[in-house]
Amino acid sequence: MEKIKVGIVGGTGYTGVELLRLLARHPQVQLQVITSRGEAGLPVADMFPSLRGVVDLTFSDPTTIDLSQCDVVFFATPHGVAMSQAPALVAAGVKVIDLAADFRLQDAAEFEKWYKLPHSCTDILEQSVYGLPELYADEVAHAQVIGNPGCYPTTVLLGLAPLLQNGWIDFSAPIIADAKSGVSGAGRKAEVSTLFSEASDNLKAYGVAGHRHHPEILAQLKKLSGNDAVNLIFVPHLIPMIRGMLTTLHVKLNAEGAKQALQAVYEQHYQDDYFVDVMPVGALPETRSVRGSNFLRMALYPQANDYVTIIVVQDNLVKGASGQAVQNMNIMFGLASDTGLQVLPLLP
């Protein structure tokens, strides 16, 4: 098999450098180009010394590069960039994987409401696939455009998928998602709230009145359950660590005997999904157990009054972003989904 020619648009942020880290050692990838308007002409390794001797590319000006020579282009860019370039790439037969939100919400009006941008290619949006491989691998395999899921939605949806698909959730009670993310989730930019003196030694909620991942999660919950009556309470928090995400889900069950069957059902559901680890009864997932890897771990805790608590952890930059994007690329090109992603977590 010829190597996959890869382009990355917007390579100076955390998801961009994470893509480079993973793709540089991918056995079936040839890195072709990485763009940056502000850093054009700068060797990648000068900005990211961790890639010295591994990535010899120089940042290119996106206005001077023909991305149609690539087989797939990853967009590690702000919202709105991918949809402005997707039509030309799609017409040229190039596959597109967007790590922003341009192709996550199938409802263009909902996208415009939350992201304050008009959607410029609704025809491509209609054909795009929500790239959560454990749920939509068949669709991903045949897709040309992927909307890579948000980090929080990945933990919530994979944590709830077996319950949703078995119809075991009592929707008369809200699904509660209490989620916490490391500071890298805010991106690589200068912002007061993410300064060391602001974020360190501190824990705070944000987006309580409305977070952009809320409609994304809700749309997928409705799709997976076939029920429009889903009620979701989602509260994200910023924790004083660089990378990592822990989401605690509280759900009311509606099926007699469901609590007793939960562990077996979850283990069976994810038995063929390499990156999803359903931990033993009584385990407590920790963010450090997935740091730097594409693994997602979860544990189940039945509670009183037909409730269950599900604890889910992942690395927000890997399974929550770039690793999942590479996983999608693998499936799109007929490779095993774990190709180039068998990176063990870092401990300590």
- Residue-wise pLDDT for 174-231, tens only, equals 999 999 999 999 888 878 888 899 999 999 999 999 999 999 999 999 999 999 999 9
Tokens describing residue 55: 């990535």
Task: Say which DSSP state 58 is in.
Answer: B
What is the C-alpha separation between 262 and 276, in angstroms, rounded?
16
Record: fold of 152-316: Dihydrodipicolinate Reductase; domain 2 (3.30.360)
For position 191, what pLDDT does the model report?
A: 86
Contact predicate 180/237, CB 8 Å: yes
Contact predicate 18/325, CB 8 Å: no
pLDDT at 130 over 80: yes
Task: Say which DSSP state 297 is in.
Answer: E
**pLDDT mean over 24-31:** 97
Instruction: Give pLDDT tens digits for 109-121.
Output: 999 999 999 999 9
Helix (H, G, I), strand (E, B) or coil at 60: strand
- Could you name the CATH architecture of 4-127? 3-Layer(aba) Sandwich (3.40)
**pLDDT mean over 268-289:** 98
Buried b (16+ CB within 10 A) or exposed e, 162-180: bbbeeebbebebebbbbbb
For position 67, what pLDDT does the model report?
A: 97
What is the C-alpha separation between 296 and 281, in angstroms, rounded?
16
Q: Which of 151, 177, 318, 332 is catalytic?
A: 151
For position 188, what pLDDT does the model report?
A: 87
**Average pLDDT of the chain, as a whole number:** 96
Confidence of residue 97 (pLDDT cuts 50, 70, 90): very high
Contact predicate 125/188, CB 8 Å: no
What is the C-alpha separation between 31 and 16, in angstroms, rounded?
13
What is the C-alpha separation between 256 and 45, in angstroms, rounded?
57
For position 84, what pLDDT does the model report?
A: 96
**Residue 128 carries which side chain, given as an amino acid letter?**
S
What is the C-alpha separation between 225 and 263, in angstroms, rounded?
20
For position 127, what pLDDT does the model report?
A: 97
The pTM score is: 0.96
168 backbone dihedrals φ, ψ, rounded to 5°: -100, 5
Which among 321, 319, 320, 301 is positioned nearest to 311, based on CA atoms?
A: 301
Helices H / strands E in the chain, number of each: 11, 13
Give the position of tokens 């870092």.
346
For position 1, what pLDDT does the model report?
A: 77
**Residue 231 carries which side chain, given as an amino acid letter?**
N
Contact predicate 321/15, CB 8 Å: yes
Task: Say which DSSP state 306 is in.
Answer: T
Quote the percentage of the chain above a pLDDT of 90.
Answer: 93
Contact predicate 343/294, CB 8 Å: yes
For position 255, what pLDDT does the model report?
A: 86
Domain ranges, ordered by start, for the chain: 4-127, 152-316
Instruction: Give pLDDT tens digits for 132-172.
Output: 999 999 999 999 999 999 999 999 999 999 999 999 999 99
Q: How far is C-alpha 322 from the chain's CA centre? A: 7
What is the C-alpha separation between 282 and 88, in angstroms, rounded?
51
Nearest 5°: the CA angle 34, 37, 41 is 65
Whether 151 is a known active-site residue: answer: yes
**Residue 336 carries which side chain, given as an amino acid letter?**
A
